[in-house]
Chain A
């Protein structure tokens, strides 16, 4: 613990203390977005879609134009914003219930149309805001309040691998799965965020990063155990890596 590096607060991030739970991954991802937005100098051209879920009040934490979307509809909302303002930067921020359950149609069709947008997909394998229910990405055997005996393949199906699913659509330009359970992976996640942001700025097209993220309260574990859960349980089912890079 001798090499602690303290970086300055990104200018695009507010000083408001977040309402995220201890050990939650959203705060880390928010910080990474802030750093990349500052580095690319795009705060004043950014329009962010807030999802339904824990990140719904993201406009309290970031200094940019924000639209709060209905559950799962952000890719449709973002599509229209980008069509109206093709010169602006549109960031879609969604969780797993939002993107992979209720908003499945919207994300698939936005991806299939090749909308020139950047999507951050936070996969924490549960519905955090409503208190830890089964999500489309909940692992087999994982206990949640709505799968109290653990998720079973029979009757509940297997977790949806979003990057692999979207990779089948030819108009997706960049798809990567990263994680934030370690410093090394946080740094890789930042690079991936930078990549999908730059793709939009360069007019490349639909780019998404799926980030495996901790939800200790939803998972009913300690923050340390949450990090271990990603390392030991999630990585084997959700392999990290680049699933599509058409450049």
Chain B
């Protein structure tokens, strides 16, 4: 890690994405980290193995992804701030535990450095885990908050936000990184922990031994009373509706009076932005809409942009065969004709370049 100490608590540093998320976790008060090696995220456990030892925190390399997520479940139930990280095949293994964590209303942070799939796929960057992250992923009716950084500053900031959001809403928060963001080295401002909320709810549900109080039980089984599970699911659903109202994050760039608006997130949004700027310099009216929360999906923000730009066309770009595309279509179904929503993407670890996106935009404009 290269440092440029400015004399304040904040310093400009040069790090790898997978390391930045680790340092952010430590700064945010993460007590425990449990993980298993997998490319392209292994720098995170390597970084935290060293740093957590230095800080006298709890680091454990688990025997499997399944054990790691169940350790997260245990540590969270015990009241600790806890994180795990992995890449796509490992995240699939963690889905059992994520379902229990969501059902048990426990907070935790999960980092997915997405790689190509299905199966072992490859170790290139990919965005093919969008469905898995935004639709729950494991069994049952639940959601996870999903934050999608596109630079190292956001990796660092969003991990801190993720711990706060997890504690505030009592649920898993996923940082949807990818092989590009995870491996990227670029400078960012390493600042002290900045809490999102003035006050977080007390963890009076945590398992600490029942001295002086009634026993606490962390459970996901609701056999009785009648409708027990129905009521539990209703409670979860109300929480998800509240989050949808409170937490839709998006960035829009040059969307006013645009003829074409690119919709992309994560690494793809940066690649797209380079191509968009080149077109803007040539006088073309191209904008970018970038969701920063993949769940909740910022549909109202997108609809507003569509309403303001009558006749605008949209181009969804993803490193997948079209997953976020479905959320775009659902959001715009009453506002934009389906034929005006275009898609450019490829699965299996395909990485777009600014040149490819530039040409794709030219091709659309010339039609």
Contact = CB atoms under 8 A, between A and B. Distances in A.
A83 B219 contact: no
A69 to B, nearest CB: 7
Interface stretch (B8-16, B70-78, B298-306, B356-364): B70-78
Contacts of A88: 208-209
Given A65-B208, A78-B74, 8 more contacts: A44-B212, A73-B97, A77-B74, A80-B74, A83-B58, A84-B31, A85-B78, A105-B67
Interface stretch (A55-63, A161-169, A192-200): A55-63
A84 B79 contact: yes
Contact of B221 (A57, A65, A78, A109): A57
Contacts of A66: 207, 215-219
Nearest to A108: B63
Contacts of A105: 63-64, 66-67
B136 to A, nearest CB: 16
Interface of A: 43-47, 50, 56-57, 59, 63-70, 73, 76-81, 83-85, 88-89, 105-106, 108-109
B250 interface: no
A65 B217 CA distance: 6
12 contacts: A46-B209, A66-B215, A66-B216, A67-B74, A76-B66, A77-B70, A80-B78, A80-B80, A83-B58, A84-B31, A84-B58, A84-B75
B51 to A, nearest CB: 17
A108 B211 CA distance: 32
A31 to B, nearest CB: 18
Contact of B74 (A65, A79, A89, A108): A79
Report, as a range, how many residues of chain B touch the other chain.
Answer: 35 or more
Interface string B73-95: 11101111010000000000000
A47 B209 contact: yes
B215 A65 contact: yes
A80 B106 CA distance: 14
B71 A77 contact: yes
B2 interface: no
Nearest to A46: B209
A69 B77 CA distance: 11
A79 to B, nearest CB: 6
A180 B62 CA distance: 35
Nearest to A44: B211
Contact of A59 (B32, B67, B75, B215): B215
Given A73-B66, A79-B74, A105-B63, A85 B208 contact: yes
Please indicate which of the listed interface residues A47, A78, A79, A84 has the most CB atoms of chain B within 10 Å of its own CB.
A84
Contacts of B67: 73, 76, 105-106, 109
Contacts of B72: 80
